[in-house]
Amino acid sequence: MSVSFNQKLIAPCGMNCRICIGYFGYTMGDKKRKIPCIGCRLEDKKCAFIKKKCKKLSNEEIKFCFECEVFPCENLKKLDGRYRTKYKMSMIENLEYIKKNGIGKFIENEVERWKCPKCGGVICVHNGKCYTC
């Protein structure tokens, strides 16, 4: 199986939506969602964590949080802190990598980082499960 990652699945905050439990179609309680999330950019929605609180993102003045002069803002720091602690992933590090190396290289690394060793599917950042296996 080939792992498919897409530039449109990298959220403004640096989250790779492809590895999110909501994208897989489940809740944090491991129940099936009625409608799976398809990612912030594809839905063109206000991100529940950052975008709805940020005028620059809401007004589409910037594409990624690292483009802002106050990067990382307090909202992103809180979100990043929670993800570093609970899920061993940093959105701020993701954004810094994208800024330095480009989105293409970031996606290449994400494919390797989150590929299931058993089936080649994608591992969920929130629970470590591969929903393909």
What single-letter DSSP state applies at residue 35? Answer: S
Break the chain into its structural domains and give their ranges: 7-114
pLDDT band at 50; cut points 50, 70, 90: low
Instruction: Answer for the pair 83, 90: CB distance below 8 angstroms, yes or no.
Output: yes
1-47 tens-digit pLDDT: 556 788 888 999 999 999 999 889 888 888 898 888 877 776 655 56
Buried b (16+ CB within 10 A) or exposed e, 56-88: bbeeeeeebbbebeebbbebbeebbeebeeeee
